[in-house]
Amino acid sequence: LTWDRGKELSAHALLTSETGLPVYFADAKSPWQRGSNEHLNGLLRQYFPKGTDLSRWNADEIAAIATALNNRPRGILGWRTPAEAFADQLRSVQQQTVATIG
């Protein structure tokens, strides 16, 4: 996982110890090191222009936007949606952990 350098991410060591997921920090002023983050920010800006006060949106409206984004095909995922890619990953993990008798 590559994170930006913000104080809100100070618990990175806990995340790594709890999940085993290594955390890396992008260099300052190097957005290309956070490509997926920058791409998602661009998609979010279609709904929330920079500087938008998110408190004016209710939970249902934000959930609808999340659903729209999670069901939007992405080239990086072979034109699957994030929801499809996530479901495929879950199926793959379940198949790997199921014991067989034989």
CB 22 within 8 A of CB 2: no
If pLDDT is split at 50, 70 and 90, which confidence band does 76 have? Answer: confident
pLDDT at 98 over 80: no
Give residue 27's pLDDT.
81
CA distance 54 to 17: 32
Q: Could you tell me which residue, 68 or 94, shows the higher pLDDT?
A: 68
Q: Please state, in angstroms and rounded to a whole number, the distance separating the CA atoms of residues 39 and 4.
A: 14
d(CA 4, CA 29): 10
Least confident of 21-35, 40-54, 60-74: 21-35
CB distance 83 to 69 below 8 Å: no
Cα pseudo-dihedral 92, 93, 95, 100, rounded to 10? 160
pLDDT band at 99 (very low <50, low <70, confident <90, very high): low
Mean pLDDT in residue range 57-84: 92
